[in-house]
Structures are given as structure tokens and as C-alpha cells.
Amino acid sequence: MNVAQLDPIPETQELPVFSETAIKTARVIVVANQKGGVGKTTTAVNLAACLGQENRKSLLIDMDPQGNATSGSGIEKHSIERTVFDALIEQEPLRELMLPGISENVFVVPSNQDLVGAEVHLTRDPNGPHRLKKAVQRFLKRSSDFDYVIIDCPPSLGMLTINSLIAGESVLIPVQAEYYALEGMADLLRSVSIIRRQHNPELVLEGFLITMYDSRLSLSRQVEIELRKAYGAHVFNSVVSRSVRLSEAPSHGLPIICYDAKSKGALAYQSLAQELIRHETESPRTWPFGHTL
């Protein structure tokens, strides 16, 4: 199933109701782009770590069966028995599945190959698209000390990404500063618009993040110019450069602020975390694309 095949929820169908106050305690940010290799996982792991460093308690949820956010957080994905699968399918509380991350402020709900099987279950269940939302709402109701939930999506617009976008309050879109960077963007924005219209009207755009920027390449500069021209203030000021240190960090199971605290990558993700923290108090984010996509 993909977004285009998603049926609107019938009005008569009962959805779980949780109190609004409980939902508003944390910000739920979905890192999404159906393209692979654009920096979603790198962004999700490092953003959670940098928010933690800023004293914001963060839960990172790995929604990709590849489990890269799990291993990149130092968790051995093949040896874990319980994953986000158990939250989606067995309705186990996220609180019981989360593992300590790199600091006292960061926790991770892990994933591994088991999650591949969830897609089929979720597609068969009329409430399937809402399973993660229900789990996150239940978590936040009992864990009001958390400030952020960061969700790392797989590289597709399938049921796991749909669940993530329905659970989210905002979507953060990493864009690789390369040729074809904007290819597929219209599909992604259209899909988010469909999900907003049918399931989650409050979902807003957190921003576009330029990743793997290489200042020596005119192509990188060109992509940045085009993106800022097209999306203006919705593009983060922080730009993540291409950096070997950033690509090495996951193999050590560490976020960049622990692997090489002074590197450009560490500074970029710290700067991104600070921009997000400013969003907490600045004018509220919007969805700037209307319903016309």
C-alpha cells in the first residue's frame, strides 16, 4: 500500500481519543524523504543527540527495517528481541521498548528486519495507518518529561512512512545537495498533503535541511540557491556539509558530537538543534503548500 491508495477513515470509525494536553507536551518530528541515502538517518540520530545535549529529553524511533538509526545509536540490532514492531503489532508500550541512547537525555526505540513483516499486518488492519500515532500518544501521556520525539522513516512512501506522518506534528525533509536533489520532491509533498487532508490536518513543515553540501562544487551551491528560491524561509539556515567524520561515526555506534565533537558535522547538527529550539517559541510552523499539489 502507498499513500495514493490510502482510504480516508470513515467518519463513523472510532479512533482512540487521548487528551490534548498530553499530546502537546512534546514535539513529534518526522524525518522523511522517500529517496534513500539523502541523510535521513544521519539527521535523526544526530538531531536527537544534539537536542539531548541542549537538555531536551528526546525519544528516537527507528521506523526503518534496515535499523540504521538503531545501530548508529550503538545498539546491536541483531541481538535485540523487542523492537518498534512490538509497538505497532502487539501494542506494547514504547516506554517498555525504549533503550538508553548515548546520553541520559536520549532514548531509542529500536528496529530491525522484523519490521518488514509489519507492513503486511498494518495494510490489512483498518486502523493500521494510526498504530504509531496511538503508541506515541500513549507514550507522551505517561512520559511528560520528554521534549521531542524524532521518527526516522524508511526510504519509501509505504505504510511505515504513512504511520510516521500520521503520528507526526511536523516533517523535516533532508535534501541532498546533488544533481536530481529535487526529483521526487513533488511526489513527497503531494503525499504529505494527502495525509494532512485525510488523516492529520495539523501536520506542518518543520523545514528542508540541505545535506552532504560540498562548497567546492558549483552544483552544491546551485542546489542551495534553487532550494532557497523555491522554499525560502522553510529551508534551515544550518547546512550539513559532506564530511568523512559524519559517515564514520555510525560504524562506531556514536553520534557525531561524541565521535568528533569539534568537527564541522557536529557543529552543523548542533546548529540545527538550536534552530529547532528557536521554533519552539517563534511563530508557529505551517504547511505552505495548501491542498493544490
- Rank residues 64 and 169 by Cβ distance to Mg ion and give the closer one: 64
Q: Which of 150, 27, 50 is nearest to 98 (CA)?
A: 150
The H-or-E segment that residue 106 falls in is strand 106-109
Site string for ligand ADP, 243-272 (x = CB under 6 A): x--xx--x----------------------
d(CA 227, CA 209): 10
Q: In this complex, which beta carbon is closest to ligand ADP, that of residue 155 or of residue 253?
A: 155
**Region near Mg ion per CB under 5 A, out of 36-44, 95-103, 195-203, 215-223:** 36-44
**Of 68 and 137, CB closest to ligand ADP:** 68
- Asked if residue 102 lies in contact with residue 58, where contact means CB atoms within 8 angstroms, the answer is no
Provide the mask over 32-71, with x wherever binding to ligand ADP is found by CB under 6 A and - wherever it is not.
----xxxxxxx-------------------------x---
30, 200, 190: which is closest to 129 by C-alpha?
200
Q: In what order do the strands lie in the sheet with 27-31?
A: 99-100, 106-109, 58-62, 148-152, 27-31, 170-176, 204-213, 235-241
Least Å from the CB of residue 106 to ligand ADP? 17
What, of ligand ADP, Mg ion, none, does residue 167 touch, CB below 5 to 8 Å by kind?
A: none
- Nearest alpha carbon to residue 241 among 271, 279, 200, 284: 271
Give the N- to C-terminal CA distance of the chain in Å, as an integer.
21
CB of 42 to ligand ADP, least distance (A): 3
- Which of 33, 34, 41, 43 is close enough to bind Mg ion by CB under 5 A? 41
Instruction: Decide: residue 26, CB within 10 A, 0-12 exposed, 13-18 middle, 19+ buried.
Output: buried
Output the residue with the shortest Cβ distance to Mg ion. 41
Nearer to Mg ion, 35 or 40 (CB): 40
User: Which residues are paired to 170 by β-bridges?
Assistant: 29, 204
Q: Return the C-alpha cell found at 201.
A: 490536518
Which stretch in 54-62, 92-100, 129-137, 235-243 sits in contact with ligand ADP by CB under 6 A? 235-243
Residues 6+ apart with CB under 8 A from 246: 42, 46, 240, 256, 263, 265
- Answer yes or no whether residue 40 interacts with Mg ion by CB under 5 A: yes
Distance CA 264, CA 262 (A): 7
Least Å from the CB of residue 215 to ligand ADP: 12
**Cα separation, 112 vs 257, whole angstroms:** 25
Closer residue to ligand ADP (CB): 51 or 140: 51
CB of 176 to Mg ion, least distance (A): 12
Q: CB nearer to ligand ADP: give 64 or 140.
A: 64
Nearest approach in angstroms of CB 23 to ligand ADP is 27
The site for ligand ADP, by CB under 6 A, has a size of: 17
77 is an interface residue for Mg ion by CB under 5 A: no
Nearest to 118 by CA among 92, 79, 149, 100: 92
* Residues of the shown chain interacting with Mg ion in the complex, contacts defined by CB under 5 A: 40-41, 68
* Residues of the shown chain interacting with ligand ADP in the complex, contacts defined by CB under 6 A: 36-42, 68, 155, 211-212, 240, 242-243, 246-247, 250
